[in-house]
Amino acid sequence: METIANGTKQIELIENLEDINQDITVQEIMEAIKEFKAQGPDDIHNQMIKHGGMAMVESLQLLFNWSYRIGYFPVKWKQFFIAPIPKPDKDHSQVQNHRPISLISCVAKVMERIITKRVMYYLHQNNLISKYQCGFQNNHSTYDLLLYMTEQIYQQFIKTQLFMHAAFLDISSAYDSIWRDINYEHNFI
């Protein structure tokens, strides 16, 4: 695996991937399978895919490449179950004390992981993501940003002996309060 430095972290990249539009390989499929993840409404589990033999994986490869080439994501892969997961140390009889988790098809998740890995590779290769971007990045967290911000405040104070001001905003239930116009088929568990 090739690695590229991004800030203070290293990011693993797909070896010899020069064109993100090349055919999806069996190796990519096998690496994208997370064996112990919950299945979605199609009841196909990752263990079935992983242990279904080469015929299963090669069939997925054919399906994924067809889907990728024509830019079509099957409607059945967009269906999901919503499972309410109780927040720890909260009253579980209250609806607001649960997190909704969407359970989608494992086949869809495998395809999404492959595409995500390719897109992230492209973005990093072409320096399209800031080194300060920590959200949705492997091996990055808010601690990285806090360390950077602390370092910047310290450096500014040493240079000017002036204080630096910062404002932080934490919106309670931010995800639940945004307006979305979606039309997904879904089921509730």
What SS3 state is found at 5?
Answer: strand
Instruction: State the pTM of this model.
Output: 0.70
Give the tens place of pLDDT for each residue, 127-141.
888 888 887 788 888
CA dist 124 and 130 (Å) reads 9
CA dist 182 and 9 (Å) reads 36
Number of helices (H), then strands (E), belonging to the chain: the values are 6, 5
Give the tens place of pLDDT for each residue, 78-126.
999 999 999 999 998 998 899 889 999 999 999 999 999 998 888 888 8
- Cα atoms in the Cβ-side hemisphere of radius 13 Å centred on 107: 24
| Residue 54: both structure tokens together | 């080469």
CA dist 100 and 137 (Å) reads 22
